[in-house]
Chains A and B, each alone.
Chain A
Amino acid sequence: MRYRIVLRRRFKTGAFFEGILPVISIFAALLFSGGALLLFGVSPLAAYRAMFRGALGSGYGLSEVIVKAIPLVISGVAVALAFRMKVWNIGAEGQIYLGALASAAAVRFLPSDSRVVMLLTMTVAAIIAGGAWGYVAGFLKSRWNVNEVITTLMLNYVGIHLADYFIYGPWRDPSSLGFPMTPPFPPSARLPLFFGTRVHLGILAAVLLVLLFRLVIRWTRWGFEIRAIGDNPRAAEYAGISYGRNVVLLMFISGAIAGLAGMTEIAGLQGRLQPGFSPGYGYTAIIVAWLARLNPWGIMMVSFFMGVLLVGGDTIQVINPLRHPRRDTYREIRGTEPGA
């Protein structure tokens, strides 16, 4: 009996490979960064061991990882939603700033002693402001087909400077000894913390958003439309799914979610608005979403991993001769992997 070997092109990557790919990527990136560490005369093994021990070896480390992962999950969902429709929302960073700015404005102008009322006002403000920031790019895209990569990116800078304006200007805390920051928020404007750690209510928002993302994309009509447009915009258009309407809605919601990340970050963690309060979460979120291949559970896992890198990086900072390797080591690690 003779066998014939037939090579056939697969149009979809197998499920196993799809799942294992990010792991391989991350491993390769760790290897690469290890090489970089070697160049600096640091043993990569020792550095990584210290990193993971610092992040996962204690309850405190673990709680800090979660604290860092919260804004990444939220903004990761935000950009993943847009990416699903092949809309490039690079503007999560600016949307985070707008969300934080609006919630600080809510604290300032609509103060309330009731925690529920105050937090709700802040949330709504953040959603509207972040959403508006996304809406601008979405509207320009739908109306005149303005490239959303550039507009969202430029709006990042505009948003960060806008926040700076208020922090350095009218909203500066007179008692902060010249440090640019707003006055601390009242207790009613703070998210509750859990278990005596810095883990805040944002974690609930993060988990809910992941579930919601899954639900909407998988089971709703709108989710179907998003997927249809993402897979083949022309076919979707013929099927009567409006690209313009969806892109505006999508960018608004994506921006709103990112804005929420800004709100939870300052209401949960920092308790005031400071310049540069987000160390590029909005950009990291893009890598998170992409490494997770836009999969909701993946977003959670990758965010957690990024949190490990962030917290672990803080630990090595203390023990090794590189003075501040933290941000850069993890940037390198995430930066080397485009994921597709």
Chain B
Amino acid sequence: MLMGAFSGFSVTYTTGDPWLGVLTAFFVGVAISAVHAFLSVSVGANQVVSGLAVTMFGTGASSLLGRKMIGLTVKGFGKVPVPFLSDIPVAGPVLFDHDPLVYISYGLVLLLLWFIFRTRHGLNLRAVGESPVVVDAMGLSAVRLRYFYTMIGGGMAAVGGAYLSLAYTKMWGEGMSAGRGWIAVALVIFAVWHPARAVLGAYLFGGVGAMQLRIQAAGTSFPTPIMMMMPYLFTILVLLVISVKKGKGILIDAPGALGVPYSREDRT
């Protein structure tokens, strides 16, 4: 996310075109997660450690490269109200008066839902998550699939970062994602690996964040640092609720081979 935020910002700043920024961010994300994919898929490194190392690399590299960008602003994405739809009372301004990336996020959810659950490729994707052995036996390369989707996922996370720097704040700041990448991980757990529930969760989390800002802006005497804890505490709370439920035998739907490195040699 951070590398996406940074690279998107710098490209937009130099070219003046935010779309080019988003595109760059995507490919930077793909490149970085290719490293992660190499370490965790090919070398069989522990995925948590590899992910953590890649995260630290991104944090360091983006802050080093982004030093000159601090304090600059870009025009970035402006609000583009959708004609007619944005005139709908209440729902209009809430849903249809945003920058283009927000609309893309709507579309992406639908697209992914269709892709994951209604296409052959989606089936392969789910299969490789459940059991790479079976996928390999089917004559598909589990390794190639894992590489591909890890990289696509990394690219999407980077675009999420680019949203922060291009649309949300329109500037670059060191460590600006403030742990959102990790919250996203919690979201996936919250959503039990289902994109539709993930969206629900994302808006819920966003709501908590927005509420915190609103309360702050309303000028209560409630101390800021305590407010800032809320999204994180909320994450833990949600995770707890999910885990308690799971313990009762409901909703056990995590991919079977999650976090397990796969090697043809080791197949048993």
Residues of A within 8 A of B54 (CB): 335, 338
Are the CB atoms of B225 and A162 closer together than 8 Å?
Answer: yes
Q: Identify A154's interface contact among B57, B228, B235, CB under 8 A.
A: B235
Encode B198-217 as 1/0 by CB contact (under 8 A) with A.
Answer: 00000000000000000000
Judge whether A277 is part of the interface by a CB distance below 8 angstroms: no
Are the CB atoms of A162 and B60 closer together than 8 Å?
Answer: no
Residues of B within 8 A of A158 (CB): 229, 232-233
If over half of A's interface residues share one DSSP class (helix, strand or loop), that class is named, otherwise mixed; here it is helix
A9 to B243, CA, bound (A): 39
Residues of A within 8 A of B79 (CB): none
Q: Identify A146's interface contact among B48, B56, B226, B243, CB under 8 A.
A: B243
**Chain A proximity of B177: nearest CB distance (Å):** 12
* Beta-carbon contacts under 8 Å, A135-155 to B: 140, 144-147, 149-151, 153-155
A144 to B178, CA, bound (A): 27
Q: Identify A147's interface contact among B52, B189, B229, CB under 8 A.
A: B189
Among the interface residues B45, B46, B178, which one has the most CB atoms of the partner chain A within 10 A?
B46
Are the CB atoms of B223 and A145 closer together than 8 Å?
Answer: no
Encode A30-44 as 1/0 by CB contact (under 8 A) with B.
Answer: 000000100000000
Residues of B within 8 A of A338 (CB): 39, 45-46, 49-50, 52-54
Judge whether B247 is part of the interface by a CB distance below 8 angstroms: yes
- Residue in B closest to A153 when the chains form the complex, CB atoms: B182
A140 to B48, CA, bound (A): 19
Encode B55-88 as 1/0 by CB contact (under 8 A) with A.
Answer: 0111111011001000000000000000000000
Encode A151-165 as 1/0 by CB contact (under 8 A) with B.
Answer: 101110110011011
Judge whether B246 is part of the interface by a CB distance below 8 angstroms: yes
Are the CB atoms of A157 and B52 closer together than 8 Å?
Answer: no
Q: Identify A169's interface contact among B57, B223, B265, CB under 8 A.
A: B223
A26 to B60, CA, bound (A): 17
A337 to B45, CA, bound (A): 11
Q: Identify B240's interface contact among A140, A290, A322, A329, CB under 8 A.
A: A140
* Beta-carbon contacts under 8 Å, A30-73 to B: 36
A340 to B183, CA, bound (A): 25
Judge whether B192 is part of the interface by a CB distance below 8 angstroms: no
- Residue in B closest to A83 when the chains form the complex, CB atoms: B49
A165 to B178, CA, bound (A): 18
Are the CB atoms of A328 and B63 closer together than 8 Å?
Answer: yes
Are the CB atoms of B56 and A287 closer together than 8 Å?
Answer: yes
Judge whether A339 is part of the interface by a CB distance below 8 angstroms: yes
Residues of A within 8 A of B257 (CB): none
Encode A311-340 as 1/0 by CB contact (under 8 A) with B.
Answer: 000000000001111011111101111111
Are the CB atoms of A328 and B64 closer together than 8 Å?
Answer: yes
Residues of B within 8 A of A336 (CB): 53, 57
Judge whether B91 is part of the interface by a CB distance below 8 angstroms: no
Are the CB atoms of B57 and A157 closer together than 8 Å?
Answer: no
Q: Identify A340's interface contact among B49, B60, B186, B229, CB under 8 A.
A: B49
Residues of B within 8 A of A335 (CB): 53-54, 56-61
Q: Say which size band chain A's interface belongs to.
A: 35 or more
A150-B182 contact given A335-B53, A335-B60, CB 8 Å threshold: yes
Judge whether B16 is part of the interface by a CB distance below 8 angstroms: no
A329-B226 contact given A150-B239, A340-B46, CB 8 Å threshold: no
Among the interface residues A36, A153, A286, which one has the most CB atoms of the partner chain B within 10 A?
A153
Are the CB atoms of A149 and B63 closer together than 8 Å?
Answer: no
Judge whether A283 is part of the interface by a CB distance below 8 angstroms: yes
A337 to B236, CA, bound (A): 29
A154-B182 contact given A90-B52, A338-B53, CB 8 Å threshold: yes
Are the CB atoms of B236 and A151 closer together than 8 Å?
Answer: yes
Are the CB atoms of A144 and B225 closer together than 8 Å?
Answer: no
**Chain B proximity of A138: nearest CB distance (Å):** 13
A146-B229 contact given A168-B223, A338-B53, CB 8 Å threshold: no
Are the CB atoms of A323 and B67 closer together than 8 Å?
Answer: yes
Encode B213-255 as 1/0 by CB contact (under 8 A) with A.
Answer: 0000000000111101100110110011001101100000000
**Chain B proximity of A144: nearest CB distance (Å):** 4
Judge whether B179 is part of the interface by a CB distance below 8 angstroms: yes
Residues of A within 8 A of B178 (CB): 157
Judge whether A88 is part of the interface by a CB distance below 8 angstroms: yes
A151-B223 contact given A158-B229, A283-B56, A332-B60, CB 8 Å threshold: no
Judge whether B185 is part of the interface by a CB distance below 8 angstroms: yes
Are the CB atoms of A168 and B225 closer together than 8 Å?
Answer: yes
A324 to B223, CA, bound (A): 33
A331-B243 contact given A154-B236, A324-B67, A340-B45, CB 8 Å threshold: no
**Chain A proximity of B56: nearest CB distance (Å):** 4
Encode A74-108 as 1/0 by CB contact (under 8 A) with B.
Answer: 00000000000000101000000000000000000
Residues of A within 8 A of B247 (CB): 144-145
User: Which residue numbers of B lie inside 8 Å of A, CB to CB?
Assistant: 39, 43, 45-46, 48-50, 52-54, 56-61, 63-64, 67, 178-179, 182-183, 185-186, 189, 223-226, 228-229, 232-233, 235-236, 239-240, 243-244, 246-247, 265
- Provide a sorted-by-A list of 17 A–B residue pairs whose CB atoms are within 8 angstroms: A36-B64, A88-B48, A145-B243, A147-B239, A150-B185, A150-B189, A150-B235, A150-B236, A161-B225, A328-B63, A331-B61, A332-B57, A332-B60, A332-B61, A335-B60, A338-B39, A339-B53
Closest A-B pairs by Cβ, 5 of them: A331-B60, A328-B64, A335-B57, A165-B225, A338-B53
